[in-house]
Amino acid sequence: MKVLGIDPGTKSMDVCGLEDGKVFFEKVVETTEVAEDPTKLIEVVKSAGNVDLIAAPSGYGVEVTYLDRIPKDRLEDWYYNYILLTEKEYIEEARENDVFGAHLYHAMTESIKEMKDLDCSVCFIPGVINLDTVPVHRKINKVDMGTADKMCVTALGILNETQDKRYKDVNMLVLEMGFGYNSVIKVKGGKIVDGLGGTTMPGPGFLTASSLDFEVVQLGGTWSKQDVFQGGTSTIAGVQTPEELVDCIVGEGKENNNCEIAFEAMMDGVEKGVKSLGSAKDSKVVLSGRLNKIDRIRKNVFDRLSDYSIDGMQDLEGAKITKKTAQGYAVVADGLAGGAYSELIELMRLKEAKGSCIDYLYHPRLQDIKFSNFRF
């Protein structure tokens, strides 16, 4: 059994290959390079050789859907609408304004169009909100409870927690802090039961503002997709990287230090997010993501969550360069294809996932939003 998982990271697209559950292939390509030339990602995929299944970049998540079911002439619209919750014209506009996240969306869509011609099976996978293990009342008026990549890294986390497939014994909170978004996903009995995604966290991520006061939304009037990628600590502090954010903090007590304010806002949101989903008595915290590799951020997490048992997420055996989200994508692909991790994927009920991430919206302003024309 050979599979590939592709993580569409904001900074890089990572491809992880598993053969009988073990890493046999890894490649990393910059997202900006794929945006300029999507064939670069396809060349990487082809270099892995013949595989049984590819878990492709899946955005906000969808019920398990195979690429060969989607007509080629409708693929671009379907992917923008149903996977990325936007339209091509809005992404092109944001790209003209050099919005970083828009380049990622463009890269994802163009590479998927190229994958249509591959001679292998390709599928899209769920996000947290698609899972029937999450009670419906927790989904109301939410879209992002954890995108597909956050679900995948949680699958890897569950796998990390047991060496003898006792997945039902796993209870934890996965704290993922990436370049664009932060998230907290709750696992109980080896199943995902709740989550705060990148745009529902109580504090900003590096790129995104996360959850907003409804009065702020009203004051902003008309919003566009590019606004999802702005308003985070990068915007607040006026920096380009998380490392710059940490470096520009000049000391506590300094007035009008936007770097420090931005940092505290993000870390306060992380603390609130974790504590809102589980207590130290019933949940350990497992860390993943680029930001958790930065010493000051990691130390701050440990200080704020000192009552919790905290571990760093481990790589799959043999993985050296791919992000854990890509490894998680590969684990999901392996399980869906009936490989070494099928028991885990069955417990997580990924094959039973249904619908889209807009199925639980009840606000009157949202009642006419439907993507029924893009279901296959």
> Domains along the chain?
2-374 (3.30.420.40)
pLDDT at 101: 72
pLDDT at 367: 75
- Nearest CA to 152 among 322, 320, 361? 322
d(CA 326, CA 215): 37
Low-confidence residues of the chain: pLDDT under 70: 250-256, 370-376
d(CA 236, CA 206): 9
Q: Angle, to 10 degrees, between the axis of helix 148-160 and the axis of helix 324-336?
A: 80
The H or E element containing residue 12 is strand 12-19
Task: Supply 320's token pair.
Answer: 């050296």
pLDDT at 240: 92
Q: What angle do CA 161, 164, 170 make, to 5 degrees?
A: 35
Task: Supply 351's token pair.
Answer: 């094959």
Hey, CA dihedral for 52, 192, 156, 100, is it positive or negative? positive
Beta strands in 49-119 (DSSP E): 53-55, 65-66
pLDDT at 93: 86
172-177 and 284-288 strand pairing: parallel
* φ/ψ of residue 206, rounded to 5: -70, -45
Q: Which residue has the tokens 């290959």?
A: 17
Beta strands in 100-190 (DSSP E): 122-124, 172-177, 182-188
- Nearest CA to 184 among 273, 269, 265? 273
Task: Supply 207's token pair.
Answer: 């790129």
As beta bridge partners, residue 191 has 188
96-113 as b/e: b if 16+ CB within 10 A: eeebbbbbbbbbbbbbbe
d(CA 20, CA 342): 11
First to last CA, the chain: 27
How many residues in total does the chain contain?
376
pLDDT at 29: 94
Q: For residue 49, give every residue at least 6 positions away whose Cβ sits within 8 Å of its Cβ, in sequence order, or none.
A: 2, 25
